Amino acid sequence: MRSTDLSFSLDDLNPSQKDAVTSTEGPLLILAGAGSGKTRVITYRIAYLLEKRKVPPYAILAVTFTNKAAGEMRERVISLAGKRGRPVWISTFHSACVRILRQHVEKLNVSRHFTIADANSSLKLIKDILKEMNVDEKVLSSRRVSWLISRAKNSLVGPENMSELEEVKRDHLLERMVQAYHMYEERLRGSHVFDFDDLLFFTYRLFEEHPDVRKSYEDLLHYILVDEYQDTNHAQYQIIRQLSTHRRNLCVVGDDDQSIYRWRGADITNILSFEQDYPDAKVVSLMENYRSTGHILKAASCLISKNMGRKEKELVAVRPDGLKVLAYSSFDERDEADFISANILDLMRREGFSSKDFAVFYRINAQSRSIEDSLRRQNIPYAIVGGVRFYDRLEIRDLIAYLRFILNPSDWTSFERIINSPGRGIGKVTMDRIRSAADPETTPEGAAKRTVAAGTVNKKTGASLQAFLNTITALREKTELVSLDEFVVCVLEDTGYLPALQSENTDESRTRIENLQEFRTVVDDFLKSEISEESVSGTEKLSTFLDQISLVSDIDSWADKGSTVTLMTLHTAKGLEFPVVFLSGMEEDLLPHYHSQGEPAELEEERRLCYVGMTRSKERLFLTMARRRRLFGKYDNAFPSRFFTDLPEENVEMHQDTPFPIPGLIRKGGIQASAGGETIPISEFHYEPEHVDGEETLPPGTQVRHPMFGVGQVMSVDGSGGEARITVYFPKGGKKRLIAKYANLQVL
DNA sequence: TACATCCTTCTTTTT
DNA sequence: GAAGGATGTA
C-alpha cells in the first residue's frame, strides 16, 4: 500500500500491526503480547485516523492508566502527526472523569468545586466513622471496610445494594458495613469531596441519569481507544460502554497475561469476553516479540502457559536466543543484594552496560532496603520508584490539606488535619466541641464560629481558634491576588507552619522544610506546563493543580533519563523495558505472596506478575532468591518460589556461584544440583526454630509423604498431638500448613 | 493539652 | 523495625 499522503510510513509496521492500525471502523480487540509494539500500534492508529480518515482530533479519546503513559502517547502522536495531534484527548481514566465531572456534576446535586480525597484521608474518615459506631477495629478493621467500599464502588454498587457484593453477602457484619458505607457517603457528600472511586462511579451515574450529557460525549467522541484493557474494572468497563454503544468504534488493547490489578477491582473477564460483548468484533493478535532475546521469552512463555484462565497463545521471539536466564539462590537478603551489585558492576565493566540499563524488581517495597544498602556500599547510583511517596509525607499532606480547605470550605477531613498543625492549643476536646456544634449542613468554619460564640471553650483556645479562622479567610482572599507559587509561600508563612518548623531547628524539621521547598518546584513545573492557562482565575488554577497532584502515580514522577539503576515493584514495572533485569525475592510467600495463596485466581495473578517482570528484560535476566530473609525485623527461612518449577531447563540455569540448589534447575557447568527436583537437602537451610515442643515427633527436616503432594520436608510443627499444625514444604506443591490428624502424612 | 513511652501491627501491589 | 495508636504523666 502506498501511503504518500501520510506524514509517516505504514511500512514501519508488520502485517498484523498494520491491520490493527488500519482497521478503524467497528469494535476491535488488539491482543498485544509483551514487547509486541503496542504503543507503536496505538500511536500510529491515532495518527492514521487523523491523517488518512480525516477524523478531527477532538473526536478521538484514548484512555490509559498512568499519566506517564498518556504523556508518552501524546508525544508520540504529535511526533507522527504534528501539532494536529495536540487536541486529541489522551488521558487517564480518572483525569478524564474529573474533567467530565467538573463540567456537569452539578446535575447530580454535587458542587462542581469538589476536592479529591487521597487514600489516607478516606481511610482516616472510615476510622472515625467506625469509632463513632463503636466498632472494634479487631472485629472489623478500617482497612477492610475501606477495601470493601472501594470494591463496591468499582462494581457500581452503592450502600443500599451492598449486600449484592459477593465478598460480603453472608457476612454477619454486613449490617455494620452497610451502615459504615452509608455514613462514609454522607460525610463525603457533606464535605463536597470525592474519593478516587467516586470519580468513576459518579461519571457513570451522570451518564446514566442524564442521557443528554452522555449523548453529548457520544456525539463528540467518534473513536475511543482503551489501553491496558485487561486492567479495567467494572466501572471503567461500563463507562466505556456508555460512550461507545452508538458508534461502536471502540478499540481496546491489552494482554490478559499482564493483568495484575485484580486486587484493586480489575476484572480480567472484560478482556476475555470482549468478543461476546461485541460479536462482530475484529481481533488482531500481535504475537511477535521484539524486545527480549529467545531464552528470556521462552522461559517467560513457559511460565505463563501454566495459567488456566487465559487465552491460548504463543509469543514468537524475533530476536536470537541470547543468553540463558540465570537463577541465583543466596544465603540471605544481604547476600542476594550483593550478588545483584556485583553483577551490575561486572556487566558494566566487561560488557559496557551503563547504570541506566539495569532494573531491580521486587514484590514488596520493603525489599528495596537491602538492595539499596548494597548499591550504596558499591557506589552504584540508583533511583527508587515508589516507596514512601513524596505526597504521603506529613508536611506535604499538611500543606495540601491547607490548600484543599482554602478551596473547599466544606472539607472536614482537611480541616481536622490542619486545625492544630502547627500547634495552636486546639486538641481533642475542642475539636469534639466544634464537631458537636455542627449539623450536616454547616462548614467547619461555621461550627468553629459557633463554638467560639457559645463560649464553651476557654478564652485562650477561643482566641486561637478565631485567629486561625481569620488567617484562612485572609488567605482565601489572597487566592485571586497573587500567583500560585507566591500563594503557597503565603500559606506556609501566614499559617505559622513554616515559622514553627524553622524554630524547631532539628534535622527532622530541616528535612521537612526541604520537602516543602521541593513542593514549590512542583508548583513551578505545573505553572510552566500546558495544563496551566494564563487566563483562568487563581481559584481555578489552584483547583486544577490539586486535581493533578491528587491523581499522580509513582511511575509518573520517574524521569528515566538519569544515569542510575532503577528499583521498583513488579507492579510499577508494567509497560517498561530494560536491557538487564534482576527479579529478586523469588520465594514462596513473597512471590507468590503470602496473601495470594488462597484462591487459584490469586495465584494466577502472582504468576502473571512474575511474567510481567521477566518480560521487561531485553538482554539479561536474573532470578534471585534468599534462603532466609528478614521481614518485620526477624529472620524467616524461605523456600524457592514454585514458579521456578514452571520454568524450562533449556532456558534457565543456575548461576555458577549459587551456593544453594534450586529444585529442577541445573547448575551452570552441568553439575546436577538436586536429585530431579525430588528433595531439597534441608541441612543446607539455616534454622532458627521459634519454639521446640517437647513432644515433637517431627523435627524440622523430617521427610514425609503426603497422598496428594508427594514427598516433602517438615519445616515446623506448632502444637502437639492430633491438633498439631505441621508446615511442610513440598517441591511439587509449595509450602502447606496441615493439621496432623487429617494430613495423613507418612514419615519416611 | 502536649509530650513521652510503650505497644501493636504491619506490608502486598496503587489510580 | 517503623509508624501509628493507646496510655500515662506533666
- Amino acid (one-letter) located at A130: L
User: Please, how many CA atoms are within 13 Å of residue A389, restricted to the half-sphere of its CB?
Assistant: 16
Who contacts A632 (Cβ-Cβ below 8 Å, separation ≥6)? Answer: none
- Amino acid (one-letter) located at A25: E
- Amino acid (one-letter) located at A369: R
- Percent share of chain A, pLDDT over 90: 46
Where do we find the cell 517467560? A300
The whole-number pLDDT of residue A676 equals 37
Q: Tell me what the mean pLDDT of segment A238-254 comes to.
A: 93
Q: Does the active-site annotation cover A232?
A: no
Question: Residue A581: which of A573, A589, A592, A590 has the closest Cα?
Answer: A573
Comparing A171 with A215, the larger pLDDT belongs to: A215
Q: Does the active-site annotation cover A258?
A: yes
Question: Residue A13 pLDDT > 80, yes or no?
Answer: yes
Which stretch, A268-282, A627-641, A731-745, has highest mean pLDDT?
A268-282
Round to a whole number and report the distance in Å from the CA of A283 to the C1' of C9.
71
Please tell me what DSSP assigns to residue A324: P
Question: Residue A701 pLDDT > 70, yes or no?
Answer: no
Catalytic residue among A151, A153, A607, A616: A616
State the Cα–Cα distance between residues A384 and A304, nearest whole angstrom. 28
Report cis status (omega within 30 of 0) of the bond before A592.
yes
The whole-number pLDDT of residue A685 equals 34
The whole-number pLDDT of residue A667 equals 56
Q: Does the active-site annotation cover A228?
A: yes
State the Cα–Cα distance between residues A731 and A748, nearest whole angstrom. 16
The three grid cell numbers given for residue A54, joined into one nine-digit string: 480525516
Question: Residue A108 pLDDT > 60, yes or no?
Answer: yes
The three grid cell numbers given for residue A677, joined into one nine-digit string: 527436583
Predicted confidence band at A744 (pLDDT cuts at 50, 70, 90)?
low
Question: Residue A730 pLDDT > 80, yes or no?
Answer: no
Question: Residue A202 pLDDT > 90, yes or no?
Answer: yes
C-beta of residue A419 within 8 angstroms of C-beta of residue A468: yes
Q: Tell me what the mean pLDDT of segment A137-157 comes to.
A: 88
State the Cα–Cα distance between residues A202 and A96, nearest whole angstrom. 12
Please tell me which residue lies nearest to nucleotide B14, judged from CA to C1'.
A553
Round to a whole number and report the distance in Å from the CA of A428 to the C1' of B4.
18
Q: Tell me what the mean pLDDT of segment A390-411 comes to.
A: 89
Round to a whole number and report the distance in Å from the CA of A106 to the C1' of C2.
44
Question: Residue A1 pLDDT > 50, yes or no?
Answer: no
Element (H, E) at A39: helix A38-51
CB atoms within 10 A of CB A280: 8
In three-state secondary structure terms, A38 is helix
Model's pTM, two decimal places?
0.85
pLDDT digits (tens, 9 = 90+) for A495-531: 988 888 888 777 778 888 888 888 888 898 888 876 6
Phi-psi region of A721 (alpha: psi -120 to 50; beta: other; left: phi over 0): left
For chain A, give the mean pLDDT. Answer: 85
State the Cα–Cα distance between residues A360 and A582, nearest whole angstrom. 5
C-beta of residue A149 within 8 angstroms of C-beta of residue A141: no
Chain A span 620-639 residues with beta carbon within 7 Å of strand C: 632-634
Please tell me what DSSP assigns to residue A697: S
Q: Does the active-site annotation cover A38?
A: yes
Element (H, E) at A499: helix A497-504
Q: Does the active-site annotation cover A616?
A: yes
Predicted confidence band at A450 (pLDDT cuts at 50, 70, 90)?
confident
Which stretch, A155-164, A453-462, A677-686, has highest mean pLDDT?
A155-164
Round to a whole number and report the distance in Å from the CA of A451 to the C1' of C7.
29
The three grid cell numbers given for residue A382, joined into one nine-digit string: 540508583
Nucleotides of C under 7 A from a protein CB: 1-2, 4-6
Predicted confidence band at A27 (pLDDT cuts at 50, 70, 90)?
very high
Q: Which nucleotide is nearest to A632 (CA to C1')?
A: C1
Q: Which nucleotide is nearest to A461 (CA to C1')?
A: B1
- Amino acid (one-letter) located at A586: M
The whole-number pLDDT of residue A362 equals 94
Find the length of chain A.
748
Report cis status (omega within 30 of 0) of the bond before A422.
yes
Question: Residue A138 pLDDT > 80, yes or no?
Answer: no
Question: Residue A147: which of A168, A172, A171, A163 has the closest Cα?
Answer: A168
Question: Residue A20 pLDDT > 90, yes or no?
Answer: yes
State the Cα–Cα distance between residues A287 and A34, nearest whole angstrom. 8
